[in-house]
Structure 1
Amino acid sequence: MTHSTTASPRRAPGILLVVLMAAMAAGPVFNYGVGALSATIVASYGITEGQYGFIITAVFVMAGLAAPLLGVLADRMDTRVQLVLIFGGTVAAFLLSAAWQSYTALVVAALIAGLAQSFSNPVTNRIVAQSVPLAQRSAWMGWKQSGVQVGLLVAGLTFPVVGAASGWRGAAVFGAALCVPALLVGWLVITRLRRRAQARDATTPPRTAPSGVTGGVRPEAAGASAGKGAAASPAEKTRLPAAVWLFTITSFLNAVGTQGVNVYASLFAVHAMGYTITVAGLLLGVMGVIGIVSRIGWGRVTGRLGRPAPLIQVMSLGGIAGLMLLVLAETTQQHWLMWLGVAFHAALPLAANVVINSGIVAVVPRERIGVASGLVATGMYLGFALGPVVVGQLVDLTGAFTAGWSGVAAAYVLCFGAAVVLGQVQASGRRGT
């Protein structure tokens, strides 16, 4: 399905892409900052690995519960207000956790960060649909979604350094400071684009239909459309395609695996492989770099192929392979296996979100993108919430990471199956048109 882009400029400005990437990065910087300093937080707060996992779970439970409502609001609320909620909410979460040094305060801060993150996908998808020409969208979706990995890169490289000097409190203040200029730039860019669009609309004369064409549609097409419109009920017009629900399921299952690894990779490097906190932070940085490249690359592949289901299947298999390598790394203490496993994780399943969001933008009418994106985001955030719990509780029970990695590998197996069904549904839809 294609949607009108008459309101979009011929090419969207690059500064808008920077804003989109920053909006995607801002919320996850909190989770990744906590992840980069996971060993420090576990030691200084006197908590177990499982209790640490509940901090990240709090982020995504809140995001998952809020995403459906906020997805609807994304279609109605001023874009600039939503950017304020994303960046401002992340600032509030960081400052709260810095001001009150307790486990309870850290969990409350995580809830605030989760609420802020829940706006990210709906509002950025809406901006892409409304302001980015169709020819640019696939590449932009890849770049936009790579903003999450930019957050991972920044957190992995900077938070361990700042935390080594001033602990979590100093790192939290640093994280808050990162969001303020991003908010100001985002507000100015969206305001400028809105004024340009208003000026363009005011100076563009209304299009007149050529002879023999009614409303820009040929008479026979107009008649066919009218027939369809008469036959379609209001429920059919507002019903989301079946693919949206399957995208939601794949998003949930993929998220269980990816966030289970994201949250515990640093702690795994320190506790299971004997690395220092700084090197463990570098591991997150490597994940971020590979994740940025992979999301951009997979975004382009998605645009050319136009079939997300096979790509999700490949990414699920890559996630299983990466987790097998991490299990072997712990068993044999071969460090290169850990780095290779993380590379598989970052290059394949960590990029699935760009494929899923590109699929949503392609199959859903523009006026319903906020709702559909909110639904898919709910699946993703609930998966993000479950993954750390699965890994953390299994590590607490067994004293090793092997069971945790095996548990989230099962989610990738189910994700592969859901992607197979998605491919069959979309193939039958193409045959029926």
Structure 2
Amino acid sequence: MADHGRTPDQKTPGIGLLTVLLGAVAAGPILLYGLSATSDSIIAELGISEARFGLLATTCFGAAAVGSATLGRLADRHSDLSLMAFIFVLSALALLLVAVPDGFWMLLIAAGLSGVAQSFPNGVTNRILLERVPTSKRIGWVGVKQSGVQVSQLVASLLFPVLALGIGWRGAALTVAIIPLILLAITWHSLRTTPLLPTAPSTVDTDTLTEAADTVTEAADSPAEPAPTRPARHPGMVWALAAFGLINGIGVQATNVYMPLFAVREMGFSLVLGGATAALAGVIGVIARVTWARRMAKGASGAHLLLTLALIALAGAVLFFVAEATGWAAFLWLAVAFHGISALGVSVVLMAALMRVIPAASMASASGMVTAGMFFGFALGPLLMGVIVGSPGGFELGWIAVGATYLMCTLLALMLIRANSRGRR
């Protein structure tokens, strides 16, 4: 097919644009994953408690949640390039601030900036997909770009502990700050050379995005509406997905933030091997997100996939508890695998469900609401886990609490399946 209207230096969407989308999702979380991977050293050097360390994650995700909830519609009115640049510059600045030896409060500021950098990626990358990527590639690319969080987890969990052995955890942050800057340069080139589609969609193509659009909740029974001239109220499906994201997010980040510390403190792992637990979760999470996205692209039910993920995550929490009770490392590695397969795969299912029913004109704000739900959960999880770990109940009580959140996710998924079944009658 001829490329009408393209200048010679323009091109069809390729690996460069996909790298940019993945990088935008990955840039913000690098800081927190790096700090978590070196948490034992940070706690010892700064003389802080486990609960206070958890405040870093709470600050990060709290800022992300507020940003997602309040700035989503603002993002709808700004260009892709300006928003992507904002993401990468803030991510680099946050890492640079970690390198400043000025106490715990500087880490809190850095964590907050990192959180703001995570407010926009889902919305702007979803919009780029709708406006620049052909429908045939779109859902598959969702899985790849949403795996950016786990790519970030993998990179940070391996690099930070290794670099920290030679130049300390502050030096590690300073070194890793170059990654968002490189991604910024790639973004500038890719967005300027990848044009909008000949007719950039204002609605989702219902021929390709199948009838599974209404599987999450009955509120999604009308998947393709004309783009509103002014912001419309979000359908109930958006709020249902946000609620699931919130509850799941509590368990996800309670596990992510404290998993390396658990491995070092309770299981006797070295700092590098403790970071490897998070890295393994990241590797499995990347594979899982791509796999779940493919399932969604083939028309799988979003609600049924969410139920499957919740049950696997619940089994993972049980395995963490068993590892703590028995001291057997094999149970820990198995628990890490279950965590990566399930809880880390929820985001792609949530975003793919949105792609089916939300027009491009409202995508940033709708994605922002669902992302806000996840981030509020992300903020609560580490704070609650830190308090529990510092209590007499320790990690055993912590893993029970994590399991309880996944049990709630299971019940919510069952409710969504039931509601959807009623809507089809």
State TM-score, norm by structure 2.
Answer: 0.88
Query: Cα deviations across residues 351-409 of structure 1 (Å, max 9, x unaligned)?
Result: 01000100011121221111110000110000000111121100111252011111122
Question: Structure 2: which 5+ residue stretches go unaligned?
Answer: 200-221
The 2-side partners of 1:421 and 1:72 are apart by 30
The yes-or-no answer on 1:95 pairing with 2:89 is no
Corresponding residue for residue 232 of structure 2: 238
The alignment status of 1:125 with 2:126, answered yes or no, reads yes
Aligned to 2:64: 63
Is it true that 1:77 corresponds to 2:73 in the alignment? Answer: no
1:251 pairs with 2:245: yes
Contact 1:243/1:425 (8 A) holds in 2:
no
| Residue of structure 1 equivalent to 2:314 | 320
Matches within 5 A, 1:237-316: 238-316=232-310
> Cα offset for 1:426?
3.8
CA distance in structure 1 between the aligned counterparts of 2:276 and 2:120, rounded to whole angstroms: 29
CA distance in 1, matches of 2:34, 2:107: 12
Show the 5 A alignment for 1:23-422: 23-193=24-194, 196-197=195-196, 238-398=232-392, 400-422=394-416
Kindly indicate which of the two structures has a greater share of residues assigned to helix. 1
8 Å CA contact 1:390–1:408 kept in 2: the answer is no
Superposed CA deviations along residues 143-186 of structure 1, whole A, max 9, x for unmatched, are 01111110011011111011111112101101211111111101
SS of corresponding position for 1:238? coil
How far apart, CA to CA, are the structure 2 residues paired with 1:133 and 1:114? 31
Q: Aligned to 1:305, what secondary structure does the other structure show?
A: coil
CA shift, 1:427, in A, is 4.1
2:254 alignment partner AA: G
Asked whether the 8 Å contact 1:7–1:197 carries over to 2, the reply is no
Kept after mapping to 2: 8 A contact 1:28/1:152: yes
- Structure 1 contact 64–377 (Cα < 8 Å) conserved: yes
Q: 1:426/1:125 Cα in 2 relative to 1: closer, same or farther (>3 Å)?
A: farther
Change over 3 Å in CA distance of 1:71–1:279 after alignment to 2: same
C-alpha distance in structure 2 between counterparts of 1:79 and 1:366, whole Å: 13
Runs ≥4 residues deviating over 3 A = 6-11, 234-237, 424-431
- Alpha-carbon separation, structure 2, partners of 1:414 and 1:358: 22
In the other structure, the counterpart of 1:217 is none
Match of 1:17 in 2: 18
CA distance 1:134–1:312, change in 2 (3 Å): same
Indicate the larger mover: 235-244 or 68-77. Answer: 235-244
SS of residue matched to 1:398: coil
Counterpart of 2:117 in 1: which secondary structure? helix
Q: Is the 8 A contact 1:7 1:130 kept in 2?
A: no
Structure 1 residues 119-143: Cα deviation after superposition (integer angstroms, max 9, x where no partner)? 1111111111212222212211110
Kindly provide the CA deviation profile for residues 8-46 of structure 1, in whole angstroms up to 9, marking residues without a partner as x.
999632211110001111001011011111111111111
Contact 2:251 2:405 in 1 (8 A): yes
d(CA) in 2 for partners of 1:341 and 1:388?
A: 18
Instruction: Summarize deviations over 1:239-294 as a string: whole Å, max 9, x none.
Output: 32211110000011111111111101100000010100011111111111111111
CA distance in 1, matches of 2:351, 2:165: 37
Contact 2:11–2:193 under 8 Å retained in 1: no
Alpha-carbon separation, structure 1, partners of 2:302 and 2:167? 45
Deviations 1:293-323 (A, max 9, x none): 1111111011113411011111111111101
**Corresponding letter in the other structure for 1:168:** W
Q: CA deviation at 1:430?
A: 4.9
1:7 Cα offset (Å): 11
Letter of the aligned partner of 2:184 in structure 1? L
Identity rate, percent? 38
Distance apart, 1:340 and its partner CA: 0.2
CA distance in 2, matches of 1:184, 1:429: 48
Shift of 1:425: 3.7
Task: Provide the rounded CA distance (Å) in 2 between the counterparts of 1:236 and 1:70.
Answer: 16
In the alignment, the residues of structure 2 paired with residue 247 and residue 133 of structure 1 have an alpha-carbon distance, to the nearest angstrom, of 25
Matches of 2:387 and 2:346, distance apart in 1: 26
Do the aligned partners of 1:10 and 1:133 also contact (CA within 8 Å) in 2?
no
CA distance in 1, matches of 2:137, 2:61: 30
What one-letter code is carried by the residue in structure 1 that aligns with 2:186?
V
3-state SS of 2:177 partner: helix
**Counterpart AA for 2:175:** F
Residues 393 and 192 of structure 1, relative CA distance in 2, 3 Å threshold: same
Give structure 1 stretches of 5+ with no counterpart.
1-5, 202-227
Does the aligned pair in 2 maintain the 1:299–1:355 contact within 8 Å? yes
Q: Deviations over 1:194-229 (max 9, x none)?
A: xx449x68xxxxxxxxxxxxxxxxxxxxxxxxxx9x
